[in-house]
Amino acid sequence: MADKAWGGRFSEATDKRVERFTESISFDARLAPFDIQGSKAHATMLSEVGLLTEEERKTICSTLDDIGKSIAAGEFEYHIELEDIHMHIERELTNRTGDIGRKLHTGRSRNDQVSTDVKLFIRHAIDHLVDLIEDLQEAFVGRCDRDQDVILPAYTHLQRAQPVMAPHYWLAWCEKLERDRNRLFDARRRTNVSPLGAAAVAGTSLPINRNRTAELLGFDTIATNSLDISSDRDFLIEFVSDLAIISVHLSSWAEEWILWCTTEFNFLSLRDAFTTGSSIMPQKRNPDVLELIRGKSARVIAANQHLLGLTKNLPLAYNRDLQEDKIPVFDAYDTVTACLELAAAIVETAELNRERIEARLEEGFLDATTLMEYLIKKGVPMRTGHETVGTLVSTCEKQKKRLAELSLEEFQQACPQIENDVYDILGVKNAIQAFVSEGSGGPKPVAQQLKAWKERIEARS
């Protein structure tokens, strides 16, 4: 039992099946740099309060650095009997430094140690994800100038609704991603609270300085209740919940572009580098990357449910169930990272099929709402105007005409207030000019939105 951190109490060796069942090194090895970072801060604090000498601190910290280099180089050997990354590093430290290494765990438990490691990882992960989100936002903003002359049909219920400028579409995704970015910043603030030094469950009688380790590790403050610290995984649930929302946004975007790539829509062409073919149908060019972005969102959503289910009935404080928290967290983070990286590349390189879009732009009566608002300006009550335009659209459908092709006489039969100036607002290109409300899809509001987004991106650089 000498290999076990808890072996002094036991006289019988652990069953090998139990060792295989309870190990976490197969997935928590990636916490190594954060475990070393936390341990160095802990050693520094211990030396400052007199629980280590300065020479012992130097030995511990330099040896931890050497161990970190060995791990990074792939030269470190893992053993399931040592259970987790914490015990691997501590055992290697002890092997290299003897009793000096055995002093490092003074004033802490693996309970607060793992929480510290994971918080350091989440903090790093959030910073990386924010960078990737900003890259995707820049890709969408970068499209706006080159697509500024393109008008697209906007949809509700997947039915053509009203026309908008293409940049309006791109900036809509920027807005969703900005909320994702802000949620991550909020989660980072709640994550950035140090658990280190809470020890196993009730704290410690040793004269440690938790505020000092928080300062050394860049935490904003310390968590204040040792029972809560041992059991708290709210920060992981919040982080993965934020990832689930990001993945839903990416899935929605992917679904839209998958539709746009179909022969039926034919709005968009993807580069060969981001499509695949069929093993039997030689003509196929499939948007598989977009389909997988859509599909992988299910894994991230499941990770969120995993964490909620894992923690819903745990009594205070630490329970071994919490070992299972890292698998969904790592998988969700890796999945969203890969999706964001590919999304930015696809957005930058896809091309709108302008001629195809314009050829069908007058289909679907995209100017109908603008005609209704024209009637409102003429003094017609909104509901009456809505009914009148609905009747005119029905007439056009029967005659296979567009609204702009109706005669003034036909218009006036439906509503006497209609005058010859009605033709100034009919047709998609005229109708879109009428959108003037802040945040709408007309040229002037979109130009304002784009200017604001360019300024926002410039301020970040």
Residue 278 falls in the annotated catalytic set: yes
Q: Which one of the listed residues 157, 279, 407, 461 is annotated catalytic?
A: 157
Q: HEC profile for the chain? A: CCCCCCHHHCCCCCCHHHHHHHCCHHHHHHHHHHHHHHHHHHHHHHHHCCCCCHHHHHHHHHHHHHHHHHHHCCCCCCCHHHCCHHHHHHHHHHHHHCHHHHCCCCCCCHHHHHHHHHHHHHHHHHHHHHHHHHHHHHHHHHHHHHCCCCEEEEEECCEEEEEEEHHHHHHHHHHHHHHHHHHHHHHHHHHCEECCCCCCCCCCCCCCCHHHHHHHCCCCEECCCHHHHHHCCHHHHHHHHHHHHHHHHHHHHHHHHHHHCCCCCCCEECCHHHCECCCCCCCCCECHHHHHHHHHHHHHHHHHHHHHHHHCCCCCCCCHHHHHHHHHHHHHHHHHHHHHHHHHHHHHHCEECHHHHHHCCCCCCCCHHHHHHHHHHCCCCHHHHHHHHHHHHHHHHHHCCCHHHCCHHHHHHHCCCCCHHHHHCCCHHHHHHCCCCCCCCCHHHHHHHHHHHHHHHHHHC
Alpha-carbon distance of 49 to 181, in angstroms, equals 40
User: Any bridge partners for residue 149, and if so which?
Assistant: none
| Peptide bond just before 125 cis, omega within 30 deg | no
Helix axes 234-260, 326-349, angle to 10 degrees: 30
Q: Which one of the listed residues 26, 62, 278, 394 is annotated catalytic?
A: 278
Residue 386 falls in the annotated catalytic set: no
Q: Quick one: which of 45, 51, 56 has its CA closest to 100?
A: 56
Question: Sign of dihedral through CA atoms 271, 274, 279, 284?
Answer: negative
| Long-range contacts, 399-405 (Cβ 8 Å, 24+) | 402/362, 402/365, 402/426, 402/427, 403/365, 403/367, 403/368, 403/371, 404/367
Alpha-carbon distance of 75 to 140, in angstroms, equals 42
Q: Report the catalytic residues.
A: 157, 278
